[in-house]
Structure 1
Amino acid sequence: MATKQKQTPKQNEQGSKPAAKSTSNAAFETRELRSALQKFHRSKPIPGYDGTIGGVKFGVYSFFDYDDEPIYVGQTRESLGSRISRHLTNQRSDAVAMNVLDPFEVRRIEVYPLPQYQEVKRGHPQLKQAQDELNALEYTVYKRAIENSKFKAILNEKQPGETQLVNPLPPSYSETIVSDDVMDLRGHPDTRIARRASTIARLAQVIEEREVQGGLRRSLVTQATRLLSLASERADALGAQPEVGESDKDSTDEE
């Protein structure tokens, strides 16, 4: 008697497994993020390429925060859709697990797809060429992100290997993934300060509890610098000054 084989879900054109039938039980912000990401991943903006941008296997991506500051750069040979989702929705990437990157802080993404290598896989004669071009692109985007950052640093715990810079860069495609409604919830400076301080505390705990490389400590410094800047800007905007008055006294102090 024939037995039915268990079917495994196939990857869709965006490079990730099909989403669950319903996400109605997810928080509003989560639903909004997933919707924006899916819309971007399913778009087809690349001239001469009929596939979706999320389905492109080889590419580089950048994340930007609520001030449009570059905060993280990475590459993928899996697919742009899968890799970005692993950071922002599945939250299973090393950067997120180690508390280097907080998905909460990502407002905009920018991708540099290399669709010309879509058919390249292990054993393909163009594999080395594709990987070399991908590495050079990642290094160039990484260097540019640091140059464009007011802190001259981003959160990557590892620097890409040095290569020749790519000039000019290939076309990039950008999307804001935080809706106006979510921006109203997340964008308040005090909310961002509290969230960033919490991320720093968790990252510091990771460093305390494990043997870590120097890159993770540099990420901690970068996050602390970003927190100081945000907190200082908030205090300055409010004209905050130390209050003048008597210091606290114990209740048993004599007058």
Structure 2
Amino acid sequence: MPPNLRIFRSMVDEALRAEDSQRRQWADARWGCYAFYDFDGEPIYVGQTNERLRIRIRRHLTNQRTDAVAMRILDVMEVAEVELWPLWELEHVAVSDPKARERIDGVEYTIYRNALDRSSLGLLLNEKIPHRTEPVDLPASARFPLVDATIRQTQGAPDIRIARCAETLSRLASVAAERGIVSTGLRQVMVVQAARLTRLAASRHAYAAGLHQPPEDLVDVHYLRALDTY
């Protein structure tokens, strides 16, 4: 196993073993929501689960068996942090319980809206918009690093990230070309990846040329926010 992958998996394991003040492992909650962040601390993906947080996170990051990863929507190598919101009050509630579904949908959408507001692009890599609800109070959360200084110097190096983002965009385009008919959500993810690629490349060019960093609105895709939130 490559050293970087071994470190990454070890840090995922450490995050999933972390305990709260009541000695409960954050990832042990059956119902809960989560968010992934990139090397810049930008939110890039939000999700929910009722099969246990640790199982869902592992499917994304180590087993790579989720639709988001399989479809090349989420680049696991770009995930540098994870945040968990366990819903302990739903621990013994049936999956089909409508009140539980309403609760987790509200939490997920509130996290999603907050993430949009914190994203410099104003958009995430979610193909499907979480079920729209009114904002709700969020449960306690914990955020964990998944990369160390060594991985930041290699996997997080600007040129490596640019190459990886370009490859991800190319694979997304290939999926669209092969299938012919794909969701508008997938095509929106392509727009977001293209915007991320442009900003990464422009930032790297500015640094190499000794110029000021490009403005925040270098790539403006906020017009898509109307489709995402209302």
Please give the range of the TM-score, normalised by the shorter of the 2 chains.
0.7 to 0.9
User: Distance between the aligned counterparts of 2:131 and 2:95, measured in 1?
Assistant: 21
Structure 1 gaps of 5+ residues are: 1-25, 242-255
Structure 2 gaps of 5+ residues are: 212-230
Residue 176 of structure 1 corresponds to 145
Task: Normalising by structure 1, report the TM-score.
Answer: 0.79
Q: Report deviation, 1:37.
A: 1.1
Q: Report deviation, 1:129.
A: 1.8
In the alignment, is the contact (CA less than 8 A) between 2:29 and 2:87 conserved in 1?
A: yes
Residue 107 of structure 2 corresponds to 137
For the pair 1:196 / 2:165, whether they are aligned, the reply is yes
User: Distance between the aligned counterparts of 1:238 and 1:151, measured in 2?
Assistant: 23
Residue 16 of structure 2 corresponds to 41
Pairing of 1:201-240 with structure 2 (within 5 A): 201-210=170-179, 211-239=181-209
Give deviations 1:45-88, integer Å, cap 9, x for gaps.
1x44x432221111110000001111000000001111011111
Secondary structure at the aligned position of 2:27 is classed as: coil
Q: Report deviation, 1:116.
A: 1.4
Residue 87 of structure 1 corresponds to 60
Secondary structure at the aligned position of 2:63 is classed as: coil
Task: Normalising by structure 2, report the TM-score.
Answer: 0.88
Give deviations 1:126-169, integer Å, cap 9, x for gaps.
x22221110000001111111111101110010011111013x2
In the alignment, is the contact (CA less than 8 A) between 2:50 and 2:95 conserved in 1?
A: no
Give deviations 1:173-228, integer Å, cap 9, x for gaps.
00011011111211110010001100100010001111211000000000000000
- 2:43 counterpart (65, 70, 73): 70
Give deviations 1:90-138, integer Å, cap 9, x for gaps.
1111000001000000001111110111112246xxx222211100000
User: Distance between the aligned counterparts of 1:94 and 1:153, measured in 2?
Assistant: 19
In the alignment, is the contact (CA less than 8 A) between 2:31 and 2:87 conserved in 1?
A: yes
Give deviations 1:227-254, integer Å, cap 9, x for gaps.
000000000111179xxxxxxxxxxxxx
User: Distance between the aligned counterparts of 2:27 and 2:8, measured in 1?
Assistant: 15
Structure 1 vs Structure 2 CA RMSD: 1.4
Compared CA separation, residues 129 and 106, structure 1 to 2 (3 A) = same
In the alignment, is the contact (CA less than 8 A) between 2:27 and 2:84 conserved in 1?
A: no
User: Distance between the aligned counterparts of 2:68 and 2:55, measured in 1?
Assistant: 15
Percent identity, please.
41
Q: Which has the higher helix share?
A: 2
User: Distance between the aligned counterparts of 2:110 and 2:87, measured in 1?
Assistant: 14
Rg larger in structure: 1
Structure number with greater CO (CA < 8 Å, separation at least 6) is 2
Aligned residue type for 1:135: D
- 1:61 counterpart (31, 34, 42): 34
Aligned residue type for 1:59: G
For the pair 1:107 / 2:77, whether they are aligned, the reply is no
